[in-house]
Amino acid sequence: MNIVTLKPSKEKSLLRRHPWVYANAIDRVEGKPAPGATVIVRAADGRFLGRAAYSPHSQIRARVWSFDENEPIDHAFFKRRVQRAVADRRAMVSGTGAVRLIFGEADGLPGLIVDHYAEDAGNGRGQLVCQFMAAGVEAWKEAIVAALTSATGCPNVYERSDVSIREKEGLEQVTGLLAGDEPPETIVTNENGVRYHVDVRNGHKTGFYVDQRDNRALVQTYASEREVLNCFCYTGGFSLAAMKGGAKRVVSVDSSGEALATAQKNVDANGFDAQRATWLDADAFKTLRRLYDEGERFDLVVLDPPKFAASREHVDRAARAYKDINLTGLKLLRPGGLLFTYSCSGAIDSALFQKIVAGAAADAKVDARILKRLGAGVDHPLLTAFPEGEYLKGLLLQIP
């Protein structure tokens, strides 16, 4: 039996049901657990705390599977967890062909992300795309894939574990087919009445930013007759939503010509008037300043940049970057204009992000009002004991 015993008083976070055990909290390890092996975590006085996946190369040395002493970690365990997660999504999410089925710790499967893309044409069972980001789920990959295909009825499973966090777990980055057929070049899926081409093999994350679904719907609601600027647009998620909502003009900026080409395919797929859309293959920081200097103004601006802070060491630099784009974004708004602004940097919490945006508003000399706090949809649930799960945060602001 592999047992991890914690130092005195280090059990407090687990008693609050936080699922991570850090290396510096461990007093001793009995046995020789391999990467991903199940260990029993005990307090210094011997009390049972949880069953966890051991990761000898990571500072997060163990991730808790279960706080129930009587629950074994076996194939049946993963089948139950996957079935529960899939049932939750079916009950909670509708109107979309792109759903996050499993969201790591929140679904009791730490380190696992699974998205499902249904084909808009309805002539197939779609595509499951997985990211195995920790030693525990890597060790149980076969059982997890079997549970997924059984619970969803979707036979096609593709892996996109090409994420740097795997290196901290002592794992190589990998991609490839896990079950069923190879995915097509793109899958066309429907979200809130908008058709999107999704490249699950080469696109960002699992191919699409599923977490922004509700926020795209909100942009769609407010876009009517407005001129819209969408920076860091990727394949045009917010841009297409704005066009669907009746925007007069949409200017979209991204530094990937390949992503912009897919965005233009999305315009065609929806039958939108291409004259309403302008696609700029350019640096968003420089383009924001150039548009302002040229006297351009917009009624709605979306700022959805990539992660600026990969860890806490990068917070100061990231804060300057967020302030830079928000300062110019606010200055580009006409009176009454709306700013949808986001951060997906887990190291920057909601309070700090609001403080950064407030500083940008002060420097822009505008009285920005927060109309709504924004985040991921219900298929990205948050454990009350695990604030680290809230990586996406956003604000909808209006200036007078």
Measured distance CA(146)–CA(125) in Å, rounded: 16
SS3 374: strand
Please say if the pLDDT value at position 174 is more than 90: yes
231 a catalytic residue: no
Q: Which residues of the chain are in CATH 3.30.750.80 domains? A: 75-187
Q: Is the pTM of the predicted complex or chain greater than 0.85?
A: yes
| pLDDT, averaged across the chain | 96
Check residue 130 and give its pLDDT: 98
In 3D, which of 118, 144, 146, 150 has the Cα closest to residue 131? 144
Domain 3-66, CATH: 2.30.130.10
Q: State the CB neighbour count (10 A cutoff) for residue 185.
A: 9
pLDDT for 24-40, tens place per residue? 999 999 999 999 999 99
Domain 209-398, CATH: 3.40.50.150
> Catalytic one among 130, 154, 233, 344?
344
Please say if the pLDDT value at position 314 is more than 80: no
In 3D, which of 54, 9, 58 has the Cα closest to residue 31? 54
Check residue 123 and give its pLDDT: 52
Check residue 121 and give its pLDDT: 60
Please say if the pLDDT value at position 122 is more than 70: no
Phi-psi region of 2 (alpha: psi -120 to 50; beta: other; left: phi over 0): beta
Check residue 119 and give its pLDDT: 86
Q: Which residues of the chain are in CATH 3.40.50.150 domains? A: 209-398
Cβ-count burial 237-255 (b if 16+ within 10 Å, e if not): bbbbbbbbbebebbbbbbe
Q: What is the mean pLDDT of residues 313-329?
A: 93
Q: Which of 123-137, 145-159, 213-227, 282-296 has the lowest mean pLDDT?
A: 123-137
Among the residues of 131-250, which ranges form H helices?
A: 135-139, 141-152, 165-168, 213-222, 237-244
Q: What is the mean pLDDT of residues 153-172?
A: 96
Please say if the pLDDT value at position 56 is more than 80: yes
Q: Which residues of the chain are in CATH 2.30.130.10 domains? A: 3-66
SS3 80: helix
- Class assignment of domain 75-187? alpha beta
Confidence of residue 1 (pLDDT cuts 50, 70, 90): confident
